[in-house]
Chains A and B, each alone.
Chain A
Amino acid sequence: MIEVEGLTKRFVDKDVVANVSFFVPEGEVLGFLGPNGAGKTTTMRMITGFLPPTSGSVKVAGLDVSRDSLAVRARIGYLPENVALYPEMRVEEYLRFRAAVEGVGRAEMRARVDEAAERCMIAEVRRQVIGTLSKGYRQRVGLAGALIHRPPVLILDEPTVGLDPRQIVKIRELIIELGREHTVILSTHILPEVEQVCRRVLIIDDGKLVADGTPEQLRGGFSGAAQLAVQLEAPEGEARAALEALSGSSGVKSEGNGHFRIAVEAGSDLRREVFKLAVAKGWMLLELAQTTPSLEDVFLRLTTHDAAAEAEAPVAEVANA
């Protein structure tokens, strides 16, 4: 549905998005992760055609964004990062305006406005002037505007920002539901949201794509897939050597008082071996807990740059100034 090929955006002399390629099949909900300034918004703007790429191409439903701009725009519902609305309009007027501009016919207008207002839970503020709405309601009005014409593709830049916890849950449910009929790309900084909502995750860092897969793949696919926390009543040195000798263990850290932390290779499960070892040796097993890395761990590992580079950055800035 969405084909992104070698997409690059250069601002001044920096590639803010550098050679990014990915494909989103129809009906997929794709999560876009990355630290602040990674280039998520820039990429989304290029997909919607708002920003012309420096090089590379974007195709939506087989149509090139720069060549068939209007046709592509008609197929996309877009919620920009800073939801900009017309403060002097009433919610209902705004939705009608959006619908008309998106090409919704007069006959369907009423039904579409009702549907969008109901789905985004803004029915109770329909008569209110947008300028007087709270931030969360404005966010929801923006979302309603993005899906008013039932576009096959939805691009949502941080759709749950500014919502209260109950609304976050509801909007997530809505996005999951939308994902059944629409292709969705959403960006977010809330990692549990990605796991709940997205079938696939892209992590972008400093303009480059650094990970692409399902949340499970991302969690499982990286070194030290799981960790085992073990507490044994046993002689420290001997226990440590024995644990290290287990096949599938890629390192043991002794934390004192019988606590060990074992790094487990991807795809292995050492819990049984540890138990058998304890039984065979006659050691008392006090604790055995397996922790899988969270998406957060993966995110941090992929997007944290080494300390030396971090320390250098401010110096470079001063030198430039």
Chain B
Amino acid sequence: MRKLFALVQRELLAYFSSPLAYVVLTAFLFINGYVFYLIVAFLNDPRTQAMAPLKLLFGGTIFFWLFLLFVVPVITMRLLAEERRTGTLEVLLTSPVSEGQVVAGKFIAAFVFYLFLWLPTWVYVWILAGHAKIDFGPVWAGYLGIALLGLLFLSVGTLTSALVRNQIIAAILAFAVLVVVFSIGLVENIATGAALKGALGYMNLWDHMDDFAKGIVDTRHIVYSLSLTGFFLFLATKALEASKGR
């Protein structure tokens, strides 16, 4: 446990001592702020029907998804690829920590950083709370959805970073896989046949996020995200084991 803690701590130190973290953080705040502004302006338009602005912020717009698809690979690309490239992986994998612990340490640190990115969005909640009564149920559910989505996406990035030694390639691979993971559920809308439609619906992340933002916490959504996360992390561990000494 202390070993895992040391791994997470080192990784977080690496995050916050690299300029990349601040670039991502700034871009994230900027785009989120812009989207928030657009949503509020849109809702202020008398022609639109009443909608919860936070619901739109959490997955209701394409910005949310575009940003996640881009940012998560950037967060994860460094994790294992960099250690492999510089050779520090040799030290790590000859220390008495298992490959699983290494993957877990990296993943947890990436998740902490991801949550840190979302922290400032509480400002919007605070702003809205100043103007209207807010139902905190959907807000919490929305953040839960964001966390689950983060786990799933970050696990994909961790896997691709374990596979290659070039960060950029790791990021591009992660992006490609994430696009598939994200869009497979969207096929639901054009699918025919009830069984296929049902299966794809189960995997439709947009709908999942929509439900969470409405305050619906569906255990099937949670199970789907967590089991995929576990699967990708398992693959990452196996990839790390298989790639030893390369």
Contacts and interface: CB of A to CB of B under 8 A. Distances in A.
Interface residues of B, number: 25
Nearest to B86: A84
B236 to A, nearest CB: 18
B18 interface: yes
Contacts of A74: 96
B6 A51 contact: no
Nearest to B9: A97
Contacts of A98: 91, 95
B7 interface: yes
A106 B91 contact: no
Contact of A84 (B91, B96, B98): B91
Interface string B86-106: 111011111111100000000
Contacts of A71: 96
Contact of A70 (B6, B9, B98): B98
Contacts of B95: 73, 98, 101-102
A49 interface: yes
Interface string B150-192: 0000000000000000000000000000000000000000000
Dominant secondary structure at the B interface: helix
B10, B13, B87 — most chain A CB neighbours (10 Å): B10
B6, B87, B96 — most chain A CB neighbours (10 Å): B96
Contact of B245 (A51, A70, A82): A51
Given A51-B244, A86-B14, A70 B90 contact: no
Contacts of B244: 50-52
Interface string A231-244: 00000000000000
A159 interface: no
A100 interface: yes
A256 B93 CA distance: 62
B17 interface: yes
Given A70-B96, A70-B98, A93-B13, A45 B91 contact: no
A31 interface: no
Interface in B71-127: 86-88, 90-98
B5, B87, B245 — most chain A CB neighbours (10 Å): B245
A169 B49 CA distance: 81
Contacts of B98: 70
Contacts of A229: none
B97 A101 contact: yes
Contact of A48 (B2, B10, B94, B97): B94
Contact of B94 (A49, A52, A100, A106): A49
B88 A88 contact: no
Interface of B: 2-3, 5-7, 9-10, 13-14, 17-18, 86-88, 90-98, 244-245
29 contacts: A45-B90, A49-B94, A50-B244, A51-B244, A52-B244, A73-B94, A74-B96, A78-B90, A78-B91, A78-B94, A80-B91, A82-B87, A84-B86, A84-B87, A84-B91, A86-B14, A86-B88, A96-B6, A97-B6, A97-B10, A98-B91, A100-B6, A101-B3, A101-B6, A101-B97, A102-B95, A102-B96, A103-B96, A106-B2
